[in-house]
Amino acid sequence: MARQATTHPDENEDTITSITSTSPSTTITDCFTDFSFCLATSLAIAKRLTWEQTPWTYAPLPLSSRQQIADLITLHTRFAITPDTVSHALLLGTTYRGATAATYPQHISPSLLVVFPHLRADADAGHDAEPARNAAFLQVWHDEIVRPAFNTAWEESGLVSVWRKPLEGFAGQRFQVTHTGARVGHERMGREAGGILKMLGSGWMRRVYEEWPFWSGDSPSVGGGGGEGEGEKRCEVYDSAWTSITGMLRDHPSLREFQDPILVAVHTAHAHLNAQSGVQAIYDVVGRDWDQTIDAKYVVKGTFRVEVRTVVGDKSRMLMEIEKDRERTRRELGGVKWKRMASGEAQGERRAKRARKLETVKE
């Protein structure tokens, strides 16, 4: 005989405590953002910019962030791209404020990523197929695209003295060969990719960068105290460099997949909402933070986005994990200048010893 179905739930089920019974109250201060972004028309969007030499060290964006960038690009350009395309974006530079990037951590200012909308990387090609880890691509990108673009923009700006041949006493000065075959040099130039690729091959995972362009002496200073018109001069150099980069990619026979690059500015700093403000206010708060390092004239109109998130429930462990991840990232990707950093302190000690010896001889 078939068992008769129960038409009423067990009375005990009605007494089971609700899953929400231990949930704490949620307020506006529980809302936060750790992701904002926009599309840029030029590198001139940056008021000050580093040239990132080791793009493979940049922490990958989560899928949800890549999806938002892909949707934004699809909406505002003629390219329909996917989050996978965004995952192959290449870090080009990081903005900073103050006298030098060395005193301003990378993770709390917007970074500039280059998205290649035609790139369709083979999923079976492996980790090394990513542009940021592809040695063959990085060699061309660094030595044939970005370095000459910045050097030429700097030389043509009139901000530096250009030497047409090596000068006496400047044996260590770097020179480059122009399209006319002339050898030109100036106070500081972009380094070749050889040393960078050695870092990639050795598994180097610390950030290395150049403050670019570099000005000193009678030229505008890096620290922003270079006098009238410094911002405009930087803008000209950055804009000229980006025009050259896009042009050289378009004309390069082996880089057809990398044509039509799209510049995306991304900010991952963590900020909570204020108890006295509403959700809308976070847009203005984050925007003011961007204004310190970004020139809004070069933001594609209508593309600035701020993601606001929250978790209803006990968030203490989640927030602790977020901070642990950020601290780990700060340790792994801590900024280092392109110098012989490890031996810098030892060199200083040797110079001090030589100075003391000279003083002894003089006495």
What are the residues whose beta carbons fall under 8 Å from the beta carbon of 104, sequence distance 6 or more? 96, 97, 98
pLDDT band at 297 (very low <50, low <70, confident <90, very high): very high
Q: Which amino acid is at 355?
A: A
- The sign one gets for the Cα dihedral 8, 11, 12, 16 is positive
The tally of CA atoms less than 13 A away on the side-chain side of residue 29 is 4
Predicted model pTM: 0.74
Which range has the worst mean pLDDT, 162-176, 184-198, 233-247, 273-287?
Answer: 162-176
Q: Which pLDDT tens digit goes with each residue over 195-220?
A: 888 999 988 888 888 876 655 444 44
pLDDT at residue 192, rounded to an integer: 79
Confidence of residue 158 (pLDDT cuts 50, 70, 90): confident
Average pLDDT over the chain, rounded to an integer: 75
Mean pLDDT of 58-87: 95
Dihedral angle computed from the Cα positions of residues 140, 141, 143 and 145, in that order, rounded to the nearest 10 degrees = 110
Q: Is the pLDDT of residue 55 over 90?
A: yes
| Low-confidence winner among 3-12, 67-76, 242-251, 347-356 (lowest mean pLDDT) | 347-356
Q: What integer pLDDT is reported at residue 247 of this predicted model?
A: 95
Q: What angle do CA 298, 159, 226 make, to 5 degrees?
A: 75
How far is residue 275's CA from residue 27's CA, in Å, rounded to a whole number? 8
pLDDT at 81: 94
Q: pLDDT per residue over 76-128, tens digit each?
A: 999 999 999 999 999 999 998 766 665 555 567 899 999 999 997 554 444 45
Percent of the chain having pLDDT more than 90? 34
What DSSP string describes 110-170? -EEEEE-TT----TTS-GGGSGGG-HHHHHHIIIIIIHHHHHHHHHHTTSSPPBSSPPTT-
Strands 176-177 and 305-309: unpaired
Question: Which two tokens mark 307?
Answer: 């993601």
Cα–Cα dist 86/131, whole Å: 11
Q: Which two tokens stand for residue 141?
A: 């990108």
Mean pLDDT to the nearest integer, 66-72: 97
pLDDT, average across residues 247-263 = 93
Confidence band of 362 (pLDDT split at 50, 70, 90): very low
Q: Where are the domains of the chain?
A: 36-340
The yes-or-no verdict on residue 180 having pLDDT over 90 is no
DSSP track, 275-334: TTS-TTHHHHHHHHHHHTTB-GGGBPTT--EEEEE--SS--HHHHHHHHHHHHHHHHHT-
> Residue 272: what pLDDT?
73
d(CA 67, CA 223): 37
| Per-residue confidence (pLDDT) for residue 123, from 0 to 100 | 46
pLDDT computed for residue 317 by the predictor? 64
What percent of the chain stands above pLDDT 70? 60
Distance CA 42, CA 318 (A): 37
Least confident of 73-77, 89-93, 293-297, 329-333: 329-333
182 pLDDT band (50/70/90 cuts)? low
Task: Say which residue, 262 or 5, is predicted with more confidence.
Answer: 262
pLDDT band at residue 169 using 50, 70 and 90 as cut-offs: very low
Q: Are strands 111-115 and 176-177 parallel, antiparallel or unpaired?
A: unpaired
- Closest to 237 in 3D by CA, of 310, 157, 330: 157
* Greater pLDDT, 134 or 129: 134
Instruction: Identify whether the C-beta of residue 69 lies closer than 8 Å to the C-beta of residue 265.
Output: no
